[in-house]
Structure 1
Amino acid sequence: MEGPIKMNHTTQKAFQDFYPEEYSHCYGCGKSNPNGHQLKSYWDGDETVAHFTPKSYHTGGYPDNVYGGIIASLFDCHGTASAAAAAFRDEVRGMDTLPAIRFITASLKVDYLKPTPHGVELEVRGHIVEVKPRKVTVEMTLSANGEVCAKGHMIAVRLRE
């Protein structure tokens, strides 16, 4: 069985590209943070997807593997971006409409299933479990070379306007 089809996002705007300036400085996904990961998340059908290739300095204590904190960071940013996109979708409006919707992490559980190899593109996928007016639950996986290396469970809460 082949892995998921990688989407071409050249014509699709990333969720993070819709963040208002005051919310665009996040280390993981802020478009205005030149020192951060610059993570970009997109819809892929009913799931969300992001890709990230770790740099050499993202290594963990175990040679040739990614530092676990980077994995948690990717889940954190992809999860809150996915929550915002799900809330916009639930309200049947575009992410370019006002008022802006932003989420923060209330809870993040990460299960590290196997070492994540360094030097390959990582794929983070999100599945929206539940959307409520102030809370979104997201289940996530992080894969390398088509193998799931970590799973994440996030509860994201909506910032008040």
Structure 2
Amino acid sequence: MKTFFRLSLMMIAVVALLLTSVPLPAFSQMTDMSMKEHREGHEHMMGMGHMDKMGEMMDNCIEHADNMGLTDDQLMKIKPIHREMQKKQAQYKADLKISEINLMEIMDVKDFDIEKADSAVKKNEEIRTAHHIEMLKAMKEIRTILTDDQFKKMQKMHKMMNMEMGKKKPSKRMMKK
């Protein structure tokens, strides 16, 4: 019995030692993290991840056109705007990816040029800001096509879909509607 206890204790100690000795990435190795993973954390904090949600909202709007009461004329106006949003989203992702690769190239050396890095970071932010503004303009244009009732239905539908995805708990105000 004592042998079994000692053996078990040794096994636990070895496992604990192995688990605590796993090397964690140093700062220099963090460049291996995809910029998407890095950016998603920042976008969440900055609220920029919301821009992708605009496209989703428009997808849902078109997909549920009957439920929202959209007319054929409204759909004919919305679809080209939506397609343009999709193109701009694709271009944005490509431009941002290239800009991020440029930043990684700058930071690839130990003693990187801080001015070049600063400039690259600002370029990334310019790309994000320009895209944000483009998406807001498209959203504004689409909203002018909707009636007040359709806009309310779109908002309600979007909130319900977010709740279904577990993003938010329903508010008391939402529950009353």
TM-score range, shorter chain: under 0.3
Question: Of the two, which has the highest radius of gyration?
Answer: 2
Structure showing the higher helix proportion among its residues = 2
The two structures have a TM-score, normalised by structure 2, of 0.26
Structure showing the higher strand proportion among its residues = 1
The two structures have a TM-score, normalised by structure 1, of 0.28
